[in-house]
Chain A
Amino acid sequence: MNIIVLLKQTFDTEAKIQLDSNNNVITDNIQYIINPYDEFALEEAIRIKEKLGDVIITVVSMGPRKVEEALRQALAMGADKSILLNDEVLFGGDEHTAAVALSQTIKQIPYDLIIGGQVAIDDGSGQVAIRVAEILDIPQVNLVTKLDVENNKLAAHRQVEVGTEVIEVFLPAMITAQKGLNEPRYPALKGIMQAKKKELKILGLADLGLTENQVGSNGANLKVISTFLPAPRNAGRILSGEISENVQELVRLLREEAKII
C-alpha cells in the first residue's frame, strides 16, 4: 500500500504575530512546527504501516527550503520518502493553486490513501486536501477522529455537530485528520539517524508539467487586499470586594453595562 501524507510547516502555536512596516509578518525568532493536524495525519499513516507492514509513506509539502526540517522530522517519525515543492512561482497563490501543484505531484507517484490535516493552523482555510481529492477524482472523508483500514476499504469516524458519523469508503481516498485521531510520537534517536539517509526530493514548476499561469498568484482566484492585527483588547475591571459582592456586581455589570444578559 502507498500512503501519501500532505504536510505543511507552520508557526508554533505559541508564536506571537507581529507585522513590519510593510504589513508583512515578522518571522525572526519564530519557532516552526509541523502543522498539528498534519502531524496527526502522519502519525496515522505510520500506525497503518506498523499494522499492515507492506506500506510506503511519502510525505509531500510545499514551501521554502526551511520546510526540509519538517520533512526530516516526518522521516524521523517513520515516513519513507519526502517531496518538497520549492519554487517561488508556486507560492503566493490560494487554495486552488496549492491543490493544483500538490495533485500534479501526487499524480507522479502511486497512491492508495492520502491523509492530510483537516486545517492548517496558519491560514485556517481547510480547503487544500479536499481540492486535491477533487482534482484526483477520489472521495474524501473530512474531520476524521478514528480510522480503520481493511483491505481496500476504510471505516472512518467523522466528527460533526450532532455526533460522529461512521463512514465507509473504498480506496483510493482522501482522509483529513481531526484532533483525537491519535497521539503523535516523538522521533526516536534511531529514527533521526535513519532520516538523514531517506529520500528528500525537491521539485520545481518544470518538474510538474505546469505553466506559470496555473500556479501561484497568477492562478489564484482569491486575492488578499490587506493584512492587519486585531484591535488590542484592553484589560477591564478587576472586582475587588468580598466574594458575594463581586458576584452580584458582575451580574449587574453584565446586565446594565454590557447589556448581554
Chain B
Amino acid sequence: MSKGIWVFIELRNAKITNSSYELLSAGRKFADKLEQDFTAVLFGYNIESLTDAIAQYGVDKIILADDPKLEKYTTDAYATVLTDLIKAKQPETVFYSHSALVKDLAPRVAERLKTGVATDCIGVEISDDGQFKFTRALYAGKLFNQVYSPHARPVMATFRPNALGVEDPSGVRNVQMEKVKVQLNLENLRTLVKEILGKVQNKMDLTEAEIIVSGGRGMKASENFKLLEELAEVLGGAVGASRAAVDSGWRDHSNQVGQTGKTVSPKLYIACGISGAIQHLAGMNSSRFVVAINKDPEANIFKIADYGIVDDLFKVIPLLTEEFKKMQA
C-alpha cells in the first residue's frame, strides 16, 4: 500500500512561488489528518539553499533533484525524473499548483503512470474513508463538480493559485534530505528552450494576485489602463482585462479574465468599466469581494458586486488611488 503526500515545489526566477507555499501549508495538514509522511519535491539547479524555507513548513522529507539539466524546464527532463521518482517511491498523493509548467508536466506524468489528475482544483476535502475529493470549476465557474480517484494511484491534483491559501509555517520537524542523482541523456530531450523573451522579474501573474484591478470596454483606450496600473501598484495587485478590452488590442491576452482567458479567485476584484458579460462573470465569480465602478447603473456587474459606484471611472479611479495612498501613509 502506497503512502505519503508529495507536493511539487515550483520556482520562478529562482524563488519558491507563493502557490508552492500554499501546497506546503495544506499538505502538512492533510498528512497529519491521514497520518502519512509529508514530502516536498524540488527540481532545479543550485537550489539547496531553498530547502531551509521549505523545512519551515514541517515537511518530513525533501527530495532534491539539483542538476544543470533541470535548470530550465523541459517536458522530457522533468517528466522523466518525476515519473521515475514516483514509480520508485510510490507516494499515494501528488499535489501541484496549476501553473504553465504544471499544465505541461502533470498530464504527461499522469498518462505515463496511467492515473488521473484533477486539474485547476479550487477546493479539496478528505472523505471519511480517507479519499481526497476535489472541487473543480466547469465552464470557467458557471458550474462545479467534485471528482475523486477511487483506485488509481497516485492521486494527483493541480490547484488554482489562492485556492488553498498560505498559512504561517508550522515549524521545522526532523527533516530527511534525499538528493536524487539525475540520470538523463540530453539527446533524449526532444524540446529545446532557445531563449525567453520579454522576461519579467517581478510581474505578478494574474491568477496568483490577491487583488485584481480589471478594465473593460469603458476604459476606452490602451493608455487609460495606466490609471489601473497605478491603483494596482498601490494595492500590490495585478491588472486584468475583459475580453472586449483584449479584443480591442488594449491589453495582452495574458491579462484576460473570463471563459477564454483566466479564471481568478482574488480576495478583491475591482471591475472598472466592465459591463459583466456571462463569460466574464464566470471567470471572476469566485472572487471574495467584488467592487464595480461603471457609469451605467444597469450594468450586469452590479448584480454580483459587493460594493458599487455608479460614476465616471476616469474620475473615481484617481481619487481611489489617492485615498489608498493616504491610508498607507
> Could you list which residues of chain A lie within 8 angstroms of chain B, going by C-beta atoms?
11, 13-17, 19, 25, 36-37, 94-96, 99, 118, 121-128, 130-131, 133-135, 138-143, 145, 155, 157-170, 173, 178-180, 220-230, 233-239, 243-244, 246-248, 250-251, 253-255, 258, 260-261
Contact = CB atoms under 8 A, between A and B. Distances in A.
Contacts of B289: 254, 258, 260
A94 B115 CA distance: 10
A167 B194 contact: yes
6 contacts: A15-B139, A124-B137, A164-B198, A222-B148, A227-B146, A260-B211
Contact of B147 (A135, A222, A255): A222
> Which of under 10, 10 to 19, 20 to 34, or 35 or more describes the interface residues of B?
35 or more
A184 to B, nearest CB: 12
A14 B260 CA distance: 11
A170 B190 contact: yes
A45 to B, nearest CB: 19
B145 interface: yes
Nearest to A94: B116
Contacts of A260: 211, 267-268, 288-289
Contacts of A94: 116
A161 B97 CA distance: 13
Given A99-B111, A143-B104, A230-B142, 16 more contacts: A125-B120, A127-B117, A143-B100, A160-B101, A166-B195, A169-B190, A169-B191, A224-B146, A228-B145, A230-B141, A230-B143, A237-B308, A243-B309, A246-B311, A254-B268, A258-B306
**Chain B interface main SS type:** mixed
B191 A141 contact: yes
Contact of A227 (B143, B203, B268, B291): B143
B316 interface: yes
B285 A230 contact: yes
B281 to A, nearest CB: 9
A220 B167 CA distance: 35
Interface of B: 12-13, 75-76, 99-101, 103-104, 106-108, 110-112, 114-120, 133, 136-152, 190-201, 203, 205, 211, 235, 252-254, 256, 258-261, 263, 267-268, 277-279, 285-286, 288-291, 297, 302-311, 315-316, 319-320, 323-324, 327
Given A142-B104, A238-B310, A254 B291 contact: yes
Contact of A122 (B139, B268, B308): B139
A166 B197 contact: yes
B323 A157 contact: no
Of residues A17, A130, A140, A243, which shows the largest number of chain B Cβ atoms within 10 Å of its Cβ?
A130
Given A229-B143, A246-B316, A253 B190 contact: no
A3 B201 CA distance: 37
B304 A235 contact: yes
A108 to B, nearest CB: 20
